[in-house]
A and B are shown apart, each in its own frame.
Chain A
Amino acid sequence: MTAKDALTERYQDLLSVYLKAKTETTLYKGQQFSRKLLEQQISPEDLVSLHIQVMDELFPNMSEEMRDSFDFLLEAMIGYGFAYREHQSLRDKQQQLESEIEVAASMQQTLLLSDVPEFDELDIGVVSVPAKKMNGDYYNFVKSGSSLSVAVADIIGKGIPAALCMSMIKYAMDSLPEEQMKPHLLLENLNRVVEQNVNSNMFITMFHGVYEPESHKFFYAGAGHEPGFIYHAKEDQFHDLIAKGLVLGVSRTTTYHPYERVVEVGDMVILLSDGVTECRTSKGFIEREEIVSLIRKYMDLPAQNVVENVFQELDRLQGFELRDDFTLIILKRMV
């Protein structure tokens, strides 16, 4: 028996039971049966022709007008049949497009990954984990002359626009002349690029810093990004690394304030995305102090081990379900 025969038989059973007893239960079964019809990709006019076939068998003496009316109904259903097939083919195409987009977006993300550079003076640790397939967090290291530039950004918005935005940021950063590598000027430049090119409810938060080995200074500026921390080894204390400024992409004329800090041997600069402090546990949010105490717990390890251990503990606290992308970067001055 073919699948179609089986459907015909089942339809005939349901219909004759209903015509005899007219119960709600059978009506409900009819409703469920329509799902089966959709699964089998039975089009609307196929169903009408199925109905005609069954009625012919159940009522061989059906009046001619009744019989003809079904033929008429069949013709009137043709348009719905076309719509149904079009819907199916669009759905297939949509699924195909979605998977292509996913592949493209993740490919781009791989291309944009920044290598952690070798830098004699600094021990560098990085962990960046997406909550979903696409990471909205972006980090970038660039060695320029003897200095090291580091950027952390959080792109608000998902999918293709966010992925394109990320490459826009990367190439805008790469193409800036060296004298523009001052963090506050870099943010002003990027802000103009972003403001012109993103749609209205998208924006980017970014922290940018430059470590200069000659002066042992860390120059930085922020565009609405979650503040990082600086650890001073001499006094054994963590301080917020506050860098005030409006997020990128809101107002074309925004200016950013330059900040600087002296980094001594053993000091750490800690940068993060808001995913780190917006971590939620069953007991509430994780506060910044808790992040500090986690870093403190592991800070005698190499920087890479510190960030990985902190991530694992936070992940466990959240029941291994990241709600937001997570990025944590530690720069520790060794000599």
Chain B
Amino acid sequence: MNLQINQHQINEIHELQLTGEVDAYTAPKLKEVMLPLTEKEGGTVVVDLSGIDYMDSTGLGVFVGALKSSKANNSSLKLRGMTDRVKRIFEITGLTEVMDIESGVKGEAL
């Protein structure tokens, strides 16, 4: 399976629109794009996950790394548009408590 990453930038806000799957195969690609963005001090990275129907623990690891990097670099990381299945793994791992996740979750399929 594949992961498609679309990038937009408005001023200091970088938005990543993800479509597909974030797993052990596609996680390195996401890390390569997302991590440098979180290293820009004062910047904001918004990740739209509404097109993601599967994420495994390696994928989650990329978000954990990005969270740590944004804390270390005073940037902010926001996630939005999680499907129920993706939201579930953020909930189980307790990451919903420490990450900025926009409410208004979309259902599995529209």
Binding site for B on A (CB under 8 A): 154, 156-158, 200-203, 205, 223-227, 244-247, 249-251, 274, 278, 285, 324
Contacts and interface: CB of A to CB of B under 8 A. Distances in A.
Interface of B: 24, 31, 56-58, 60-62, 64-65, 67-69, 85, 89, 92-95, 97-98
A247 B95 CA distance: 8
Contacts of A158: 24
Pairs of residues from A and B, 10 with the lowest C-beta to C-beta distance, nearest first: A201-B65, A246-B94, A224-B93, A201-B61, A200-B65, A156-B57, A200-B68, A224-B94, A247-B93, A156-B61
A245 B64 contact: no
A157 to B, nearest CB: 7
5 contacts: A154-B57, A156-B58, A202-B61, A203-B64, A250-B64
A227 B64 contact: no
A213 B23 CA distance: 42
Given A246-B93, A246-B98, A274-B89, 10 more contacts: A156-B58, A157-B58, A200-B69, A201-B64, A224-B92, A226-B92, A247-B94, A249-B64, A251-B98, A278-B56
A205 B93 CA distance: 7
Contact of B92 (A157, A202, A203, A225): A225
Contacts of B56: 278, 324
Q: Which secondary structure dominates chain A's binding surface?
A: loop
Nearest to A227: B92
Nearest to B24: A158
A200 B97 CA distance: 18
A244 B94 contact: yes
B26 to A, nearest CB: 14
Nearest to A278: B56
